[in-house]
Amino acid sequence: MGALQGAGRSAGPDTEDAITERECLAGRIAQQLGQQGYFLTYLDPHRGQSLIDLRWAAQLAGRTIGSATTTYASAVGRTRPGKITVVVAPTATSTFGSARQSGISDLLEVLGLASRQPA
């Protein structure tokens, strides 16, 4: 799953195209949060704007679903060579239930992100 298709182009982070991309990403994140309880993607560590855009979109997605979100990021290459693994999950357990929150905890454990601080 790619976070931003145009990440790394020369356009600034606040151009109309970039804002539209972040809004589309927020929609995909909200959809995945609703369907499986988390959003998982892999980012190029050399494109710092991608992580910034993803975190912005995660916050917007959280507002859409009515729950704050937390973004977890791995060290480079932890689960995929040359990539950062990023998981977005709802912060409030009451929104999605304890069983789903337990599943997210298991996913973070498998990906080696359980002991890491949120990004």
The answer to whether residues 45 and 82 touch, using CB atoms and an 8 Å cutoff, is yes
At residue 101, the pLDDT reads 59
* Burial group, residue 14, by CB count within 10 angstroms (0-12, 13-18, 19+): exposed
Query: Greatest CA separation found in the chain?
Result: 43
Indicate the range of 2-16, 21-35, 77-91, 105-119 predicted with least confidence.
2-16
Q: Please give the model's pTM, rounded to 2 decimal places.
A: 0.70
- Number of folded domains in the chain? 1
Establish if 33 belongs to a structural domain.
yes
Establish if 78 belongs to a structural domain.
yes
Q: Transcribe 1-24 into DSSP letters.
A: --S-TTTTSSS-TTSHHHHHHHHH
Q: What is the CATH number of the domain that holds 86?
A: 3.30.110
| Dist CA 67 CA 113 (whole Å) | 21
Indicate the range of 5-14, 48-57, 108-117 predicted with least confidence.
5-14
Q: What is the pLDDT of residues 24-82, one digit of tens each?
A: 999 999 999 989 889 999 999 998 889 899 999 999 999 998 888 999 888 888 888 89
At residue 118, the pLDDT reads 58
What is the residue range of 22's domain?
16-110
